[in-house]
Amino acid sequence: MRRYVFDGGTAVITGAASGIGAALARGLADRGSHLVLLDRDGEGIAGVAESICATLPQLRIATYVVDLADADATARIGETLATTHPDTTLLVNNAGVALAGRFDQVDAAQFDAVMAVNFHAVVTMTRALLPVLTAHPGSHVVALSSIFGIVAPPGQTAYCASKFAVRGFLESLRGELAPAGVGVTCVHPGGVRTNIARNAVVGTGLPAAQWEAGRDSFDKLLTLDPADAAATILRAVHRRRPRVLVGRDAVVLDKLARLLPVGNGRLLTAATRKAASR
């Protein structure tokens, strides 16, 4: 399959108001892509769009406010995009949420909400835009899994379940879409400096003090600049890489998972605690 061409294409990006999503929007714009930005933070995506328009006024940029935790709203926006943006050549399923707490500390509604945003929305958006993408051979689908779609530390049952699901979905989808000339890239970021820990939903059974300590410890591990993460992702898309590890920590943990496919959890927990204590 030939390399993906950014210039003149139209990219749909979910979770585009901040973090990796906002950095991807800027990176795609710099490469000549028109943009369709989605987020539940209307003020945030408006700011991203205005910033890009100020320097690249020739690009078309559309914004949509939607909460991907709402299955009906996600289905409706998918239908809208397929009709309104038939020139779409790149779908970036970036939106994601975190949930703090062990399985017995989170309720069913919280668990389901994480699955809705991190996995079900990926499936729904991909299904809605698939006819558009396949109508343009050379198109591409991207979704963000996580390094926690490769290793599964304690206290991340919902998040890991959603990210392993994304990984499996894309690995199967890749083979299905190849004959149509549509590429698929699964992204596994490590510790990228975003607000995902600060904005995490807190399990109903998780004591506040325990959450605050865990949040601060996890925050220390998020060191990679989102712009650097976006550059790595876009380079992988251009080259049609099936999988990309983002950050040195992701590379190390992937190797750990290969060496110790079972039982790497204790080493991961110990390494996380050591890094957080620095």
Compute, in degrees rounded to 10, the torsion defined by CA atoms 113, 118, 120, 124.
130
From the candidates 159, 164, 169, 218, give the one annotated as an active-site residue: 159
Say how many domains are in the chain.
1
Residue 3 lies in a domain: no
**In which domain, by residue range, is 27 found?**
10-276
| 64 given a catalytic annotation | no
Residue 5 lies in a domain: no
Residue 4 lies in a domain: no
Residue 1 lies in a domain: no
Residue 104 lies in a domain: yes
Residue 24 lies in a domain: yes
**CATH number, position 80:** 3.40.50.720
Distance CA 143, CA 167 (A): 8
- For the chain, 278 residues long, give each residue's pLDDT as a single digit of tens: 899 999 999 999 999 999 999 999 999 999 999 999 999 999 999 999 999 999 999 999 999 999 999 999 999 999 999 999 999 999 999 999 999 899 999 999 999 999 999 999 999 999 999 999 999 999 999 999 999 999 998 889 999 999 999 999 999 999 999 999 999 999 999 888 777 767 777 888 887 777 666 666 666 667 788 999 999 999 999 999 999 999 998 998 899 888 877 666 666 666 555 544 44
